[in-house]
């Protein structure tokens, strides 16, 4: 988020400095220079507003995607955890489960949690990359 803010400020400052430098070296009357500066500032404000709106939209989209993905992955992990728990309960009830079998069940459950975490990170990274590409396109 800080990078996007810096980008927006950089755009505004760059536009203002460029416009001012151009206007100061152009032989025009004081009134015309003031009008030109005002026009350039308005253009800079409009561009900044466009970038802000695009970033807000992308952040909302990212938030929705992350929430949806997290919910789906959480549900999947919950179901798999319940399955593993049921299997462990059945095995214990049969009294034929060994310590090694219980360790395997716990290991499987742990791996499912790690896999879910990795999926969430991949989704968030993908969405952030898409958002960065959209910002580049705005330039």
Q: What's the confidence (pLDDT) of residue 126?
A: 80
Distance CA 121, CA 116 (A): 9
Residue 114 near residue 77 (C-beta atoms within 8 A): no
pLDDT digits (tens, 9 = 90+) for 30-43: 788 778 778 888 88
- Banded model confidence at residue 2, pLDDT cuts 50, 70, 90: low
Q: What's the confidence (pLDDT) of residue 4?
A: 66
What is the pTM assigned to this prediction? 0.42
Residue 51 near residue 7 (C-beta atoms within 8 A): yes
Determine which helix (DSSP H) or strand (DSSP E) holds 77, and give its type and residue range: helix 30-94
pLDDT digits (tens, 9 = 90+) for 69-106: 777 777 777 787 787 778 777 776 765 557 777 778 77
Residue written as token pair 């079998």: 101
């Amino acid at each position: 988020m800080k990078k996007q803010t810096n980008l927006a400020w950089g755009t505004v400052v760059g536009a203002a400095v460029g416009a001012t430098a151009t206007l100061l070296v152009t032989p025009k009357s004081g009134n015309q220079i003031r009008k030109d500066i005002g026009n350039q500032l308005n253009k800079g404000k409009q561009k900044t507003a466009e970038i802000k709106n695009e970033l807000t939209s992308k952040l909302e989209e990212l938030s929705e995607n992350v929430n949806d993905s997290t919910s789906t992955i959480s549900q999947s992990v919950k179901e798999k955890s319940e399955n593993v728990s049921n299997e462990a309960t059945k095995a214990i009830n049969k009294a034929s489960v060994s310590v090694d079998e219980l360790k395997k069940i716990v290991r499987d459950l742990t791996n499912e949690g790690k896999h879910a975490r990795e999926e969430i990170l991949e989704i968030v990274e993908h969405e952030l990359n898409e958002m960065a590409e959209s910002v580049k396109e705005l330039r």
